[in-house]
């Protein structure tokens, strides 16, 4: 049947179609997948499911003719649909249908389809008719040609029919994912993608809701999986969207933050720390200028000094948490992901020993700064020392305690991880 998106397909640059050449199939050291399963999650999509299945059946021949794939299976997962979605899907004999009585979630439906598949490659496609299954040819060939673990069908291009608010939200999430992972990504939440089945063990666990897609994308980016993007057309959906911009947008946001905290916490906490320290620095300009000119800090700046100390200590605490969390994440995930030059410098400077030494030094300096004022107060019930000296001494003591505590905490965590790894090794032996 005619494909409604064909008129605009030529405007989108497509990946190079690879033939079934012996060079591709026999390339030394490369596993060439031979089978593909298309999973279609559907919730009350009776108006679109028939057309989507027919387009997938038509695309199956193109996939077999233009890729190394020799078998294409189609699984429809009706996720608690209360309309005729499952009935319509069952009318196609070559399509396997799984129907839940209760809605379990978009991600749960996809994972159920994956669990029933036995193919080398897995893919999924939204049932609403927004994406063209013919483009699985490009996605599969990219997975084979680049040995990619995950290939995303990117909808973020000028020909896309995506509503403006969703376009803006997807841009924002892509920017977050790119920053946190250190890898450029354009579309984190696309509902059209191809995954190597053996990559699932590194992608799981994944959420069951609509935030399944951005969570998968970011987890792949922060792992050692190879991710590629291929432009695909995106059309207006058939029927009413299940996506709720605010509710699901917040879920997308928290899913990205959760994975960032588990895999690249230094990037998250380091950025927060830099912001806090920058605020402290900005507030410090006037007192520093006053001291450089008058060699004294005015009484009118005492409250500003309290704010400076608060933001400075918060920045140090956040940074030290990020350093310890980064080392724990690396040990637990077996993740040797590369860091930026600044990240490597921070990790090198904030080693356990250096944090303990810096903490002890700051505590000592703070105590020495305040010991005269404390002795004077104990003897005379009066302090003649300038409040700025006492404030600086107190700041050094608190900062030193933070560094010392985090150094001890990191030392204990390292010992626990070493013991755990040792027990695991002994059990394996």
Token pair for residue 388?
């700025």
Q: 3-state SS of the chain?
A: CCCCCHHHHCCCCCCCCCCCCHHHHCCCCCCCCCEEEEEEEECCCCCCHHHHHHHHHHHHHHHHHHCCCCEEEEEEEEECCCCCHHHHHHCCCCEEEEEECCCCCHHHHHHHHHHHCCCCEEEEECCCCCCCHHHHHHHHHHHHHCCCCEEEEECCCCCCCCCHHHHHHHHHHHHHHHHHHCCCCCCCCCCEEEEEHHHHHHHCCCCCCCCHHHHHHHHHHHCCCCEEEEECCCCCCCCCCCCCHHHHHHHHHHHHHHHHHHHCHHHHHHHHHHHHHHHHHHHHHHHHHHHHHHCCCCHHHHHHHHHHHHHHHHHHHHHHHHHHHHHHHHHHHCCCCCCCHHHHHHHHHCCHHHHHHHHHHHHHHHHHHHHHHHHHHHHHCCCCCCHHHHHHHHHHHHHHHHHHHHHHHHHHHHHHHHHHHHHHHHHHC
The whole model's pTM is what?
A: 0.71
Residues near 38 by beta carbon (within 8 Å), at least 6 away in sequence: 56, 72, 73, 74, 75, 123, 124, 125, 133, 136
Query: Residue 87: its pLDDT value, please?
Result: 94
Question: Which of 126, 154, 111, 145 lies closest to 48 in space, CA to CA?
Answer: 126
Query: Residue 81: its pLDDT value, please?
Result: 92
* CB 392 within 8 Å of CB 307: no
Query: Residue 260: its pLDDT value, please?
Result: 78
Per-residue pLDDT of the chain (429 residues; tens, 9 = 90+): 344 444 344 344 444 333 333 334 334 445 788 999 999 999 998 988 999 999 999 999 999 999 999 999 999 999 999 999 999 999 999 999 999 889 899 999 999 999 999 999 999 998 888 888 999 999 999 999 999 999 999 888 777 767 667 778 888 888 888 888 888 999 988 989 999 999 999 898 888 888 899 889 988 988 878 999 999 988 765 556 555 667 767 777 887 888 778 878 888 899 999 999 999 999 988 888 877 787 777 777 788 888 999 999 999 999 988 888 888 887 776 656 677 788 888 888 888 888 899 999 999 998 988 888 788 778 888 877 777 778 888 889 999 998 898 888 888 877 877 776 665 544 444
Whether the ω angle into residue 205 lies within 30 degrees of 0, i.e. cis, is yes
Cα 3 to Cα 11: distance, rounded to the nearest angstrom: 15
Query: Residue 248: its pLDDT value, please?
Result: 65
Query: Residue 411: its pLDDT value, please?
Result: 84
Residue 331 half-sphere exposure toward CB, CA atoms < 13 A = 17
Token pair for residue 369?
């700064």
Cβ burial 76-97 (10 Å sphere, 16+ → b, else e):
bbbbbbebbbbebbeebeebbb
């Amino acid at each position: 049947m005619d494909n409604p998106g064909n008129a605009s397909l030529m405007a989108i640059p497509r990946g190079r179609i690879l033939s079934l050449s012996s060079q591709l199939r026999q390339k030394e050291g490369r596993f060439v997948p031979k089978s593909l399963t298309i999973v279609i999650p559907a919730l009350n999509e009776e108006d679109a499911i028939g057309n989507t299945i027919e387009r997938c059946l038509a695309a199956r021949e193109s996939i077999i003719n233009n890729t190394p794939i020799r078998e294409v299976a189609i699984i429809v997962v009706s996720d608690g649909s209360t309309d005729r979605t499952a009935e319509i899907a069952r009318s196609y004999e070559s399509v396997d249908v799984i129907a839940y009585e209760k809605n379990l979630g978009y991600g749960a439906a996809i994972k159920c389809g994956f669990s029933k598949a036995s193919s080398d490659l897995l893919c999924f496609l939204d049932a609403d008719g927004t994406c063209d299954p013919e483009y699985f040819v490009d996605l599969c060939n990219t997975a084979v040609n680049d040995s990619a673990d995950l290939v995303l069908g990117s909808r973020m291009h000028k020909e896309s029919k995506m509503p403006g608010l969703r376009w803006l939200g997807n841009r924002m999430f892509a920017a977050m994912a790119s920053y946190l992972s250190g890898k450029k990504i354009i579309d984190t939440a696309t509902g059209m993608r191809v995954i190597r089945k053996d990559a699932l063990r590194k992608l799981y666990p994944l959420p069951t809701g609509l935030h399944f897609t951005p969570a998968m994308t970011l987890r792949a980016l922060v792992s050692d999986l190879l991710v590629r993007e291929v432009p695909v057309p995106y059309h207006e959906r058939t029927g009413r969207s299940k996506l709720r911009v605010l509710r699901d947008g917040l879920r997308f946001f928290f899913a990205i933050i959760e994975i960032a905290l588990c895999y690249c916490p230094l990037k998250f906490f380091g950025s927060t720390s830099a912001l806090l320290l920058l605020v402290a620095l900005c507030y410090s300009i006037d007192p520093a200028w006053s001291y450089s000119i008058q060699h004294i800090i005015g009484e009118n700046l005492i409250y500003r000094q309290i704010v400076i100390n608060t933001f400075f200590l918060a920045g140090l605490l956040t940074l030290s948490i990020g350093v310890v969390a980064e080392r724990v994440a690396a040990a637990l995930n077996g993740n040797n992901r590369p860091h930026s030059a600044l990240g490597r410098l921070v990790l090198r400077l904030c080693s356990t020993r250096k944090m303990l030494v810096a903490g002890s030094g700051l505590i000592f300096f703070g105590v020495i700064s305040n010991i005269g004022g404390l002795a004077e107060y104990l003897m005379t019930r009066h302090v003649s020392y300038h409040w700025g000296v006492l404030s600086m001494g107190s700041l050094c003591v608190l900062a030193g305690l933070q560094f010392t505590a985090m150094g001890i905490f990191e030392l204990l965590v390292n010992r626990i991880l070493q013991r755990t790894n040792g027990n695991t090794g002994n059990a394996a032996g």
